[in-house]
């Protein structure tokens, strides 16, 4: 399932200059394919992320009976089978490294009267699925085989789905989305009550495809600050819509931080999504003193986007509150790199969710820093980075099959006094195909 590891080294090579458009947003790409497959008719998608994670979701949907075809660079169409219309697949659905694709598709299958086996690579097999399976079982799905709530597992979808009210114990857009998608097959209303708002792409796209969905902001005494109640009415006939996928802010973050930590850099990032539930990194970097300008603010695919002009900046340490974590959960490794080049200590609180990503990303991020001469400590679920305005570098970073650890380490190498190497660059393609060439176009030295 895996290719031979590909080591890669990043070296300081002077200021970065130019323009870059990050790949299409991964969250939007997965959801556009899945909701297109649950609609009746043909949906056209432009700017789809053609990374391994999203391609595996497309393959799974084909195996379930939807017609999913590529018709040009980033251009795809999906001919859906309708809510509850998936056919039973003949083989296991292989999601590779994608937790998002797997968990959302568990929700899609849970509402259909079929049985499917879900599998993935060694990294995905280590990731917990039980918190998704619990609400899906309440809807009526049954887990026929699973190893300790992990892949590979076999799920029998509900023959008579039941609408539920579910409050996730931990804020998670993936769990929320899986339940809402499964709830499409149930009569009546399925409701999620979340204590903290998580990324709302599923809600927006469901409404865009014609589902009846209500989002209510809750009082603090009913849930945590910023809590929401999301209710979807089941058994709709979703209408296929064209989707233009904006650039992924989580992928754009790597070029953005690289430009910030290298003096004299000036980079423009085109068409980056500015959804308020995805911009925690930008808020934090502004607080650290980053020079980031928003240009040409507009709407694409139902989301606000902007071009970002980023210049090399003198950064300072800050405290990042736990409440901000859901809006930047994928960006902490590269934020930690920015913190290493800041003056003073940066404290990132409430990072429990990082422990169940593609790797134990909290431990991996601290190890990345320490191996390159940066002092970093973990206390409970908090990460402390003691920045000195510079980084020595010189380390070999174990990526643990984690694409974001790999890219963050390479960004560190571009600003460090000595080169930084990673043990395997092959996983970068799961979220950012062409990362190396894109960064080289700005002046990065990777070899």
The catalytic site residues sit at 330
Which stretches of 262-322 are DSSP H helices? 280-287
Structure tokens at 302: 């139902």
The DSSP code for 415 is: H
Q: Give the count of alpha carbons within 13 A of 300, CB side only.
A: 22
Cis omega (within 30 of 0) for bond into 152: yes
Q: 322: which residues sit within 8 A by CB, 6+ positions away?
A: 349, 350, 381
The DSSP code for 47 is: S
Q: Give CA–CA dist 247/269, Å, rounded.
A: 9
CB 361 within 8 A of CB 405: yes
- From 393, 378, 370, select the one nearest 261 (Cα to Cα): 393
- From 268, 260, 270, 261, select the one nearest 311 (Cα to Cα): 260
CB 145 within 8 A of CB 191: no
Q: 72: which residues sit within 8 A by CB, 6+ positions away?
A: none
Q: Give CA–CA dist 160/174, Å, rounded.
A: 23
Helix 26-38 / helix 201-208 crossing angle, nearest 10 deg: 40
Task: Please state, as a whole number, how many other Cβ atoms lie within 10 Å of the Cβ of residue 298.
Answer: 12
The pair phi, psi for residue 407, each rounded to 5°, is: -70, -40
| Look-up of token digits 């379930």 | 64
Task: Please state, as a whole number, how many other Cβ atoms lie within 10 Å of the Cβ of residue 445.
Answer: 15
CB 325 within 8 A of CB 309: no
Q: Give CA–CA dist 99/408, Å, rounded.
A: 20
Q: 397: which residues sit within 8 A by CB, 6+ positions away?
A: 367, 368, 371, 372, 405, 406, 409, 420, 421, 422, 423
In 186-252, the DSSP E strands lie at: 189-194, 213-217, 228-233, 243-244
Q: Output the DSSP codes for 119-161.
A: E--HHHHTS--HHHHHHHHHHT-EEEEEETTEEEEEEEPPSS-
């Amino acid at each position: 399932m895996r290719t031979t590891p590909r080591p890669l080294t990043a070296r300081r090579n002077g200021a970065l200059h130019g323009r870059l458009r990050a790949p299409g947003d991964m969250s939007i790409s997965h959801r556009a394919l899945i909701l297109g497959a649950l609609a009746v008719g043909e949906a056209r998608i432009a700017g789809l992320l053609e990374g391994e994670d999203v391609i595996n979701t497309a393959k799974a949907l084909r195996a379930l009976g939807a017609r999913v075809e590529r018709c040009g660079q980033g251009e795809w169409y999906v001919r859906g089978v309708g809510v509850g219309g998936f056919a039973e697949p003949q083989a296991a659905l292989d999601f590779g490294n994608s937790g998002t694709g797997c968990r959302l598709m568990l929700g899609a299958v849970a509402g259909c009267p079929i049985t499917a086996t879900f599998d993935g690579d060694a990294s995905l097999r280590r990731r917990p699925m039980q918190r998704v399976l619990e609400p899906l079982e309440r809807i009526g799905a049954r887990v026929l085989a699973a190893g300790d709530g992990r892949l590979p597992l076999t799920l029998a979808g509900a023959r008579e789905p039941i609408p539920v009210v579910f409050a996730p114990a931990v804020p998670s857009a993936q769990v929320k989305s899986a339940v809402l998608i499964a709830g499409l097959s149930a009569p009546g209303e399925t409701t999620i009550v979340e204590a903290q708002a998580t990324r709302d792409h599923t809600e927006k796209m469901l409404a865009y495809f014609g589902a009846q969905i209500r989002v209510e902001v809750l009082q603090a005494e009913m849930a945590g600050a910023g809590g929401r109640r999301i209710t979807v009415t089941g058994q709709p006939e979703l209408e296929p819509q064209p989707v233009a996928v904006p650039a992924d802010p989580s992928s754009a973050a790597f070029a953005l931080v690289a430009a910030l930590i290298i003096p004299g850099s000036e980079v423009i990032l085109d068409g980056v999504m500015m959804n308020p539930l995805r911009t925690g990194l930008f808020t934090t970097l502004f607080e650290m003193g980053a020079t980031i300008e928003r240009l040409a603010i507009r709407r694409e695919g139902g989301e606000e986007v902007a071009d970002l002009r980023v210049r090399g900046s003198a950064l300072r340490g800050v405290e990042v509150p736990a409440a901000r974590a859901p809006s930047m959960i994928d960006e902490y490794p590269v934020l930690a790199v920015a913190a290493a080049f800041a003056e003073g200590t940066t404290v990132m609180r409430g990072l429990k969710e990082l422990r169940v990503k593609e790797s134990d990303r909290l431990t991996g991020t601290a190890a990345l820093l320490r191996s390159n001469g940066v002092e970093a400590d973990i206390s409970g679920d908090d990460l402390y980075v003691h920045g000195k305005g510079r980084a020595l570098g010189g380390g070999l970073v174990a990526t643990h099959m984690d694409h974001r650890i790999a890219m963050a380490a390479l960004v560190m190498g571009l600003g460090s006094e000595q080169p930084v190497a990673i043990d395997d660059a092959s996983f970068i393609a799961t979220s950012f195909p062409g990362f190396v060439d894109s960064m080289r176009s700005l002046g990065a030295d990777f070899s």
